[in-house]
Structure 1
């Protein structure tokens, strides 16, 4: 993949299912309140992180390209 991504979890939407942490254990963790967080908000593109975002039951995970140090176009969910 070669790109850099910015990964966000909407904590107001996250239900703490843990699916992201089990799909991409190097990409997500759950805190004491069972809310998901990216391990590193800015990370190398990863099939596992994308699979975790796609598999989130409440679509709480968003991924954007990192472009010139800022958040660029969406990777997931894709723009309509």
Structure 2
């Protein structure tokens, strides 16, 4: 699975970072950084929760 971020929608609230801190980080400027764009099996549940929990729908997963 690959993580796709729509930078125009992201507001940097950090919901994704709180749910999957190994994958997402909001920097000091409030911008979301995707630390890795491929999701490992061990991270799948956390990343799916982060995508579902994004209030601006800025994240999605592709096969």
User: Normalising by structure 2, what TM-score?
Assistant: 0.86
2:8 to 9, 12, 22: 12
TM-superposed CA distance for 1:12, in Å, is 0.7
- Determine which structure has more spread, i.e. the larger CA radius of gyration: 1
TM-superposed CA distance for 1:64, in Å, is 0.5
Q: Name structure 1 gaps, 5 residues minimum.
A: 66-80
How many residues are aligned here?
Answer: 61
User: Normalising by structure 1, what TM-score?
Assistant: 0.69
Kept after mapping to 2: 8 A contact 1:8/1:37? no
CA RMSD of superposed structures (Å): 1.1
Deviations 1:17-73 (A, max 9, x none): 0010001101111123212122101121410000000000000001111xxxxxxxx
Kept after mapping to 2: 8 A contact 1:7/1:42? yes
More strand by share: 1
37 and 8 in structure 1: CA distance in 2 versus 1, 3 angstrom threshold: farther
